[in-house]
Amino acid sequence: MESMPSNSFDILRSPLLFLQSVLGDVSRQDWLQAYQEWWQKEGQGISDAVDRGGTPWVRMFDRLGDRVDEILYPPEYWRMLQHGYRSGVLWRGFEQESLLPAYLGIYVTAFYDPGLSCPYTVSLGTIAPLLKYGDRELQARFLPQLLERQGAAWQGATWMTEIKGGSDLGANVETVARPSGNHWQLTGDKYFASNAGADLAVVAARPEGAPQNVRGLALYLVPRRREDGQLNYFIRRLKNKIATRSVPTGEIELRDSQAWLLGTVEQGIYLILEVLNLSRVANSMGSVALAQRAMADALTFAERRVAFGKPIFEQPLLRQQFEDRLRQLRAASHLAWEAVDLLNQVWREKPPYSDRYHLFRLVAHLAKYWTAEFAVQTAKWAMEVHGGLGTLQEYSVERWLREAMILAIWEGTSHRQILDGLEVMERKGAHRLLFQRLAASPPAPALREMEARVEKQLSLPAEEKQATAESLFSDLAAFTAEALLARSNRPVQAVE
C-alpha cells in the first residue's frame, strides 16, 4: 500500500480545513474562520486554564443572606463562552432556518474544548422546541434573549435525568407537574443537570395523576427566575467530573417552580426524544472533532520525536496507523454529517412523523454509537503515541481521553443507542430506508449481505435479539460510514 505524502495530514491541524475536505463549500464561511482564529489566539489558553482549575463552585447566598446560587468561574470563562454565542453558533442558523451553522460551530468548538460545546448544544435543545411548540407569547418572551447577538445571550439547558438513571425515563422521572392558573408548578430533583445555572431549561416532568410510563411524561419550559424576579429553581451542588469542566453539571431542585407546557401532555415523550436527538447529533460531531484533535496532537509530537535515527512519524508501523486512522476519521465525519443533514431536513416535523424522520433516528443512533467509540479509541491511541508523556496532566493529550469517556455516555450510552436503533428498525422499518439511501455506494453483494443480517437479527426471539445485537449494530454503523465515505463526492448544498 502506497503511503500518503506527509502534507496530506496537515488538514488534521485545523477543524475547518478538515471540514472543508469532507463537506466542501458548506463549511467555507467567514464567521467560522474568524471563530477558529479566535480559538487559536485566545480561546485555547482560557480553556486549558479552566480544565486545570477543575470544577467551579456555587455561592449559594449573598452577603445579605439572600439565595443567589451563583456559579463562580473566572471572568475569562464567561468571555470564552459568550464569544461563541456572539459569533453565531446559534443565532445564524435560526436566522437562515437551518441547523447546519450550529453543528459546524459545535464542531469547531469541540476541537478546542469538547465540554464547551455542551452549553451550545443544550441551548439549541431549548430553542428548537420553543420555536416549534411554544405559543407566540412564550416565543416573544424568551427567544430574543436566547438569540441575542451583541450582549450576553441567555443560555438554555435540557434536564431529564434523575437519581435513578436516564435510560428508563418512564420509570425514573419523579418530578411532578401541577397546573396553576396560566402556568404549571414543578416539584422534583434533577441529578445530572448540564449547564446548571441556565437562564431557561426544558424539563421532563409527569403531570399529576399521569401514567407511570413514558406516555405519562411531558416537556416544560422552566426559567431561572420567577415572574417576580425570585429564583425559580435551586442548585444543590455541582458535580466533580473527570472532564468537561467547562460546563457546570449539577443537581437541581425544583420547588413549585413556575413552568410552561410545550406542546401537549399527550405528545410529551415525543418532544423529549426530539430534544435528546438534537443532542445526540451534536455529540457525534463533537466526537469526530475530538478524534481529529487527538490525531493532530499526536501528529505534531510524532513529527518531532526522534527514535532510531528518524522521527517516529516516519517509522512504517506508526505511519500506517496514521493513514488508517485518517481514513476512519473521514468515514466517521461522513456518518456524523449524514445525521446532521437528515436532521436538518426533518427537525420541524411534529408527530406523527414521516418515514424520513425515522430514517434520521436510525442514522442518529448509529452515528452517536460509532463516533463516540471512535473518539475513545483514538484518544487512547494518541496517548500511546506520546508514550509516558501522554499520561502527564501537564500535556493536553490525557485531557482528550478524559473528555472522550464522557462523550460515550452523554445523551444515552452505547447500550441505549443499540436498543433504540433496534426499535426503530423493527417498528418503523428504518433500515430498509437506509439501504435504499446507500444503494449506489457499496457493492451490491455487500449490501444484500448486510440487509440479510439485519432481517435475521430482527426475526430472533426478543431476548436473543437484544443480547446479540451489538455485533450487528457495530457492523451496520461501520458499513454505513464506509458507504457514505465512498459516495463522498456528492454535491453538498452551501449555506450562505
**pLDDT band for position 489 (50/70/90)?**
low
In the predicted model, what is the mean pLDDT of residues 347-360? 98
**pLDDT band for position 491 (50/70/90)?**
very low
For the chain, counts of helices (H) and of strands (E): 18, 11
pLDDT of residue 8: 86
CA nearest 34: which of 112, 90, 97, 88? 88
Q: Cβ–Cβ contacts within 10 Å for residue 314, how many?
A: 16
pLDDT of residue 5: 57
Residues 375-391: tens digit of each pLDDT: 999 999 999 999 999 99
Task: Determine which helix (DSSP H) or strand (DSSP E) holds 441, and give its type and residue range.
Answer: none
Residues 123-157: tens digit of each pLDDT: 999 999 999 999 999 999 999 999 999 989 999 99
Residues 261-314: tens digit of each pLDDT: 999 999 999 999 999 999 999 999 999 999 999 999 999 999 999 999 999 999
Whether 392 and 402 have beta carbons less than 8 Å apart is answered as no
Per-residue cell: 186: 414543578
Position 490 pLDDT exceeds 80? no
Q: Cβ–Cβ contacts within 10 Å for residue 446, how many?
A: 13
pLDDT of residue 54: 87
Domain range list for the chain = 6-146, 156-266, 270-486
* Preceding peptide of 101 cis, ω within 30°: no
CA nearest 268: which of 224, 221, 233? 221
What is the fold of 6-146?
A: Butyryl-Coa Dehydrogenase, subunit A; domain 1 (1.10.540)
Classify 83 as helix, strand or coil.
Answer: helix
Position 493 pLDDT exceeds 80? no
pLDDT of residue 496: 38
Residue type present at position 96? Q
Largest Cα separation within the chain, whole Å, is 78
Q: Give the whole-angstrom CA distance, residue 201 versus residue 359.
A: 28
What is the fold of 270-486?
A: Butyryl-CoA Dehydrogenase, subunit A; domain 3 (1.20.140)
Query: What is the reported pTM?
Result: 0.96
Q: Which residues contact 2 (CB under 8 A, 6 or more apart)?
A: none
pLDDT of residue 404: 97
In the predicted model, what is the mean pLDDT of residues 217-238? 97
Residues 52-65: tens digit of each pLDDT: 998 889 999 999 99
Whether 175 and 186 have beta carbons less than 8 Å apart is answered as yes
Position 3 pLDDT exceeds 90? no
Q: Which of 45-54, 286-295, 392-401 has the highest mean pLDDT?
A: 286-295
**Cα angle: 265, vertex 363, 190; to 5 degrees:** 40
Q: Cβ–Cβ contacts within 10 Å for residue 270, how many?
A: 17
Position 369 pLDDT exceeds 70? yes
Residues 458-479: tens digit of each pLDDT: 999 999 999 999 999 999 999 9
CA nearest 119: which of 83, 173, 164, 150? 83
pLDDT of residue 6: 56
Note the CATH number of domain 156-266.
2.40.110.20
